[in-house]
């Protein structure tokens, strides 16, 4: 038996929806992408949604739309997938990292405040902060939003883990406390389009910029821009140096069909999370925070194993569970310890809390189709780790 840490859930109606597009006239640039965007907009209450081919692309055009360039600084959490930081580097900007909170594993609001005060003195404030809602649990957005007003930076939410989650009464993606929010539709995430992503915003100017950046910087218009020659026929004009980051209608059909089950998916993940938490309460490990004022999408269920407290190391637990077919995982080693980032000059001990977390964290299997038998098998094997 092999149990992954995350996996997509595909129904016969998903397959029918994709098949319908395959039999239609348009595989891309038809009406299913706009329809998916409209539905995500209705779901999250964000005014504008721009579907793209990955969250990585969405992060890139989000940074571009906010004007991130060569002389700018972008900050993010070290406890994330490399894409959150890479987006800033694509724009030629400098990246820096804020250490995490030891309870939520999201970037620490107090560490952020300290670094802002310090950077203001040195005239090195960031242009953009990319927050990451780790495991599907929102960052402290109200406080971060206040800091953004005080210190004059923009906010991108990397909500790759968090579609379907709530922050107080708002859906993550509402952009109530940010400029742009980004979702991922990779198969391990909450809903999938195979590969895919989306950028959301309430700002029509940013929406327009991102809309043209995803398609070569081109917009369809037959208006003449060059009065010197009226004999030409123009169907589109390029206004900016953009990319081909478009989502296909095939992908959007899958996304639209998956979106119908998003609340059921999140509910199922929460049921599994509560079952794990109940089963593990007496074990010598740190369990995920369950904050009743927010709904986490529980993209991940992360336990922390501290060797001294647990009597067993995380690495031993990792190897043992792997050998039993439970494909536990590490989310994440600090981005700045990746060889590429080390080559940019980042050193060990830069964010000590994040490094300690990385030595203790372990993501257990959690996804809607994880059967009760599989859940019980995981629980049994975890409990066995701490016997005697
Ligand atoms: C998955 C993920 C991404 C990248 O998403 P893609 O859609 O694969 O590009 C970015 N950030 C975080 C936090 C992720 O988990």
pLDDT at 329: 98
| 197 CA → ligand 1 middle, Å | 8
Ligand 1 neighbours by CB, cut-off 6 Å: 54-56, 80-81, 83-84, 132, 158, 160-161, 184, 186, 197
Q: Which of 6, 51, 55, 79 to mutate to test the pocket of ligand 1 (most atoms within 8 A of CB)?
A: 55
pLDDT at 1: 83
Look at residues 49, 266, 328 and name the one whose alpha carbon lies nearest to residue 136.
266
pLDDT at 220: 84
Tokens at 294, concatenated: 């927010």
pLDDT at 388: 66
pLDDT at 227: 67
- Are the C-beta atoms of 84 and 63 separated by less than 8 Å? no
Helix 82-90, helix 55-65: angle, nearest 10? 40
| 181 CA → ligand 1 middle, Å | 13
Q: Which of 89, 184, 185, 247 to mutate to test the pocket of ligand 1 (most atoms within 8 A of CB)?
A: 184
pLDDT at 308: 97
Cα–Cα distance between 388 and 385 in angstroms, integer? 9
| 55 CA → ligand 1 middle, Å | 5
Say whether pTM exceeds 0.75. yes
10-residue stretch averages of pLDDT, the chain, 388 residues long: 96 98 97 98 98 98 98 98 98 98 97 98 98 98 98 98 97 98 98 98 98 95 70 89 98 98 98 98 96 94 97 98 98 98 97 98 98 98 92
Cα–Cα distance between 330 and 213 in angstroms, integer? 33
pLDDT at 291: 87
Residue nearest (by alpha carbon) to ligand 1 atom 2: 160
pLDDT at 386: 95
């Amino acid at each position: 038996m092999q149990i992954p840490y995350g996996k997509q859930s595909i129904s016969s109606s998903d397959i029918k929806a994709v098949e319908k597009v395959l039999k239609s006239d348009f595989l891309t640039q038809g009406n299913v992408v706009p329809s998916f965007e409209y539905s995500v907009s209705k779901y999250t209450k964000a005014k504008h949604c721009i579907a793209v081919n990955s969250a990585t692309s969405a992060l890139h055009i989000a940074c571009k739309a906010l004007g991130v360039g060569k002389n700018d600084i972008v900050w993010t959490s070290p406890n994330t997938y490399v894409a959150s930081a890479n987006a800033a580097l694509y724009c030629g900007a400098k990246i820096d990292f804020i250490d995490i909170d030891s309870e939520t594993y999201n970037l620490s609001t107090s560490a952020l405040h300290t670094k802002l005060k310090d950077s203001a003195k040195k005239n090195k404030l960031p242009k953009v902060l990319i927050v990451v809602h780790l495991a599907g649990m929102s960052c402290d957005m109200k406080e971060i939003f206040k800091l953004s007003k005080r210190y004059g930076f923009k906010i991108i939410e990397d909500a790759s883990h968090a579609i379907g989650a709530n922050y107080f009464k708002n859906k993550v993606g509402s952009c109530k406390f940010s400029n742009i929010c980004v979702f991922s539709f990779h198969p391990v995430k909450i809903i999938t389009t195979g590969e895919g992503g989306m950028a959301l915003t309430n700002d029509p100017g940013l929406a327009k910029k991102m809309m043209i950046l995803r398609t070569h910087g081109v917009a369809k218009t037959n208006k003449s821009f060059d009065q010197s020659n009226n004999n030409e026929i123009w169907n589109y004009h390029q206004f900016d140096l953009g990319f081909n980051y478009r989502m296909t209608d095939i992908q959007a059909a899958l996304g639209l069909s998956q979106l119908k089950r998003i609340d059921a998916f999140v509910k199922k993940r929460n049921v599994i999370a509560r079952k794990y938490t109940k089963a593990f309460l007496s074990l010598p490990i740190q369990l995920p925070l369950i904050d009743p004022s927010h709904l986490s999408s529980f993209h991940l269920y992360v336990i922390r194993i501290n060797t001294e407290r647990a009597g067993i190391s995380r690495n031993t637990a990792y190897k043992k569970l792997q050998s039993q077919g439970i494909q536990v995982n590490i989310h994440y080693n600090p981005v700045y310890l990746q060889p590429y980032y080390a080559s940019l000059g980042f050193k060990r001990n830069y964010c000590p809390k994040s490094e300690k977390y990385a030595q203790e964290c372990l993501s257990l299997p959690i996804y809607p189709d994880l059967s009760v038998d599989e859940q019980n098998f995981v629980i049994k094997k975890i409990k066995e780790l701490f016997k005697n």
